[in-house]
Amino acid sequence: MRPDTPAEHADSAAHVAEAERLERTAGLYPQDAEHLLSQAAAHLELAGERARASALYDRLLSSGAAVPLENPALVRALKAANLWEYGHEAEARAIIDGVRATAPRTPGPWVIVAEALEAHDELQEAHETFTRAATVLTGTAGEDPEPPQEVRPVLVGRHRVRRMLGEAHDAWDTLADGLHTGPVSLDELHDPKRVWSLGSDDPAELRAEISRLRAELGGYRQQLSRPFPVAVLHWPAGELAELVAAYPSLAAEYPSHEEHLATIEAALRELAASGTPNLGIVTATVPSYEAFAASEGAGPAEVSLLPQYATTLASRGRARPWPPAATDPCWCSSGRTYGECHGVR
């Protein structure tokens, strides 16, 4: 365990504060409680407040919830992973068995439970879980050369576990290799024995390699179980005109609609270039912005509210992923494809 530092305390306090803000928002928008409370729970997990996180997962899973859950298996999987992290192994395992038995049709729950098993050195079980997930989600044994984007974390996780188990490549592994883009190949990335095969006999190098693998696992978990989208606010032309007419001081922020759209694309490209994952665009409307300002006890003319409004819409699950495919409609609703509109290079 690392020693507690003041910086970590500040970090924990920020996570708890954000969790509480999200819980309040969930009170205002019960229809979005699943997104908001899952994210609040993730912040509590990051703050080390695991029992409080469990309570939120339980609240979502309780039968009295206002709206049926969109992805109950994902909430259960997150609950199990969290429980296991603070010593409730038996309960976690029982939930994991239950999640696997329902054979979810989305990759998230599979990946969360497989990674929980992997993190606790249950490599065989992690392997079986990833394999069942790949079978359920692709319905083939690796023949589909272009599996959906969302299935990739399953194939990559499975590849990682199989490398650690010393298994020979199968069709899915070859597929995972082919789909991987990055400076280092997946085989190199996933080979804990790499330094030995290169002739090294330095145990420190091996340990470094294993911690790098662990860090990669952490990275995937962060992306999947902690989906904090970074979203930029988009005002459609009519809404922007109405906004600026009602709150003229905001005209400094938004000189013209065209410039507003160009700024959105530029901001997202910059974030992407700096390696920020999970980017999106949220669409603003004047009434929803005014309601948000009122809920924060502030006036809509306050510029500092705009990014908070964007974050809140994103945490309510309102972000559309960016970038669209070049052949998909542009996010700005011009009617042109992204490749011919704001996606032009």
Q: What is the dihedral of CA 110, 116, 120, 122, to 10 degrees?
A: -10
Looking at residues 208 to 237 of the shown chain, list those that interact with Zn ion (rule: CB under 5 A).
none
Residue 107 or residue 323: which is nearer to Zn ion going by CB? 323
Residue 298 or residue 344: which is nearer to Zn ion going by CB? 344
Residue 109 or residue 324: which is nearer to Zn ion going by CB? 324
Residue 85 or residue 187: which is nearer to Zn ion going by CB? 187
Residue 28 or residue 344: which is nearer to Zn ion going by CB? 344
Looking at residues 282 to 341 of the shown chain, list those that interact with Zn ion (rule: CB under 5 A).
330, 332, 334, 341
Residue 229 CB-density burial (10 A; 0-12 exposed, 13-18 middle, 19+ buried): buried
Q: How far is the CB of 338 from Zn ion (least distance, A)?
A: 7
Q: How far is the CB of 191 from Zn ion (least distance, A)?
A: 9
Q: How far is the CB of 118 from Zn ion (least distance, A)?
A: 17
Q: How far is the CB of 284 from Zn ion (least distance, A)?
A: 16
Identity at 162, one-letter amino acid code? R
Looking at residues 151 to 180 of the shown chain, list those that interact with Zn ion (rule: CB under 5 A).
173, 177
Q: How far is the CB of 185 from Zn ion (least distance, A)?
A: 7
3-state secondary structure the chain: CCCCCHHHHHHHHHHHHHHHHHHHHHHHCHHHHHHHHHHHHHHHHHCCCHHHHHHHHHHHHCCCCCCCCCCHHHHHHHHHHHHHHCCCHHHHHHHHHHHHHCCCCCHHHHHHHHHHHHHCCCHHHHHHHHHHHHHHHHCCCCCCCCCCHHHHHHHHHHHHHHHHHCCCCCHHHHHHHHHCCCCCCHHHHCCCCHHHHCCCCCHHHHHHHHHHHHHHHHHHHHHHHCCCCEEEEECCHHHHHHHHHHCHHHHHCCCCHHHHHHHHHHHHHHHHHCCCCCEEEEECCHHHHHHHHHHCCCCCCCCCHHHHHHHHHHHCCCCEECCCCCCCECCCCCCCEHHHCCCCC
Binding mask of the shown chain, residues 24 to 43, with x at each position contacting Zn ion by CB under 5 A: --------------------
Q: How many residues bind Zn ion (CB under 5 A)?
A: 9
Q: Any idea what the Cα angle at residue 298 is, between residues 263 and 226, rounded to 5°?
A: 60
Residue 309 or residue 331: which is nearer to Zn ion going by CB? 331
Contact between 187 and Zn ion by CB under 5 A: the answer reads: yes
3-state secondary structure 309-341: HHHHHHHCCCCEECCCCCCCECCCCCCCEHHHC
Q: How far is the CB of 332 from Zn ion (least distance, A)?
A: 3
Q: How far is the CB of 241 from Zn ion (least distance, A)?
A: 18
Residue 288 or residue 337: which is nearer to Zn ion going by CB? 337
Q: How far is the CB of 162 from Zn ion (least distance, A)?
A: 8
Residue 200 or residue 334: which is nearer to Zn ion going by CB? 334
Q: How far is the CB of 59 from Zn ion (least distance, A)?
A: 40
Residue 21 or residue 158: which is nearer to Zn ion going by CB? 158
State the residues that interact with Zn ion by CB under 5 A: 173, 177, 186-187, 330, 332, 334, 341-342
